[in-house]
């Protein structure tokens, strides 16, 4: 099913994910997911296109567009990503508050971050009580190797553990990882990751 939005056909999900040979199950109200990408990042990963400083984010234009989208399409999930969405934390907070005010309360909100402002995210009750999860990018379990990949000094595992202890919703923080040659090169080492 397609829905035209700003002259572009947007595909809507009409079936839930299915496993192996199971029969498809229809979704009662077709939906799509949306991402807002913040340009700019404090890290300088070789594989990333957002290594420059952030461009201006036109909040008024964004608000107008999001209102139009929400009036025309059901959003199941909304994701803040980048670059690093929290690099300019005050701007991120403004965009988050506007987004939260526009979205239906059933829309799941997620945030992808390298952790530069993780403590601020989890201390902000309006964020921590609203988001489904915060995905923390960690590309290696060793802090030094992780910093080498990011080409910057990022949040370390001891600080992450301290922050995680302070969170009531323990399942809100999860980790994402790009497996990069010459850092983690085999599945056995991947299975070892939770122990480090």
Whole-angstrom distance, CA of residue 134 vs CA of residue 127? 10
pLDDT greater than 50 at residue 196: no
Model confidence, pTM: 0.85
Answer yes or no: is pLDDT of 137 > 60: yes
State residue 191's pLDDT score.
66
Interval 163-181: pLDDT, tens: 988 888 888 998 887 777 7
What the chain holds in terms of domains, given with CATH numbers, is: 32-195 (3.20.20.70)
Residue 46 pLDDT more than 80?
A: no
The tokens of 189 are what?
């080492």
Residue pLDDT, tens place only, 57-111:
789 999 999 999 999 999 999 999 988 999 899 999 999 999 999 999 999 999 9
HEC string for the chain: CEEEECCEEEECEEECCCCCCCCCCEEEEEEEEEEEEECCCCCCCCCCCCCCCCCCCCHHHHHHHHHHHHHHCCEEEEEEEECCCCCCHHHHHHHHHHHHHHCCCCCEEEEEECCCCHHHHHHCHHHHCCCCEEEEECCCCCHHHHHHHHCCCCCCHHHHHHHHHHCCCHHHEEEECCCCCCCCCCHHHHHHHHHC
């Amino acid at each position: 099913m397609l829905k035209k939005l700003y002259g572009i056909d947007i595909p809507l999900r009409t079936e839930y994910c299915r496993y192996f040979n199971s029969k498809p199950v229809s979704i009662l109200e077709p939906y799509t997911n949306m991402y807002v990408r913040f340009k700019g990042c404090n890290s300088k990963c070789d594989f990333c296109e957002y290594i420059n400083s952030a461009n201006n984010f036109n909040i008024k234009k964004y608000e107008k567009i999001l209102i139009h989208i929400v009036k025309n399409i059901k959003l199941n999930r909304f994701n803040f990503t980048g670059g690093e969405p929290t690099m300019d934390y005050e701007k991120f907070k403004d965009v988050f508050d506007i987004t939260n005010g526009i979205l239906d309360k059933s829309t799941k909100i997620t945030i992808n971050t390298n952790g530069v402002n993780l403590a601020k995210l989890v201390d902000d009750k309006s964020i921590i009580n609203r988001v489904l999860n915060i995905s923390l990018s960690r590309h290696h379990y060793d802090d030094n190797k992780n910093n080498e990949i990011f080409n910057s000094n990022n949040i370390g595992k001891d600080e992450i553990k301290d922050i995680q202890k302070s969170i009531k919703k323990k399942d809100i923080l999860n980790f994402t990882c790009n497996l990069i040659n010459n850092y983690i090169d085999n599945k056995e080492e991947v299975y070892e990751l939770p122990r480090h």
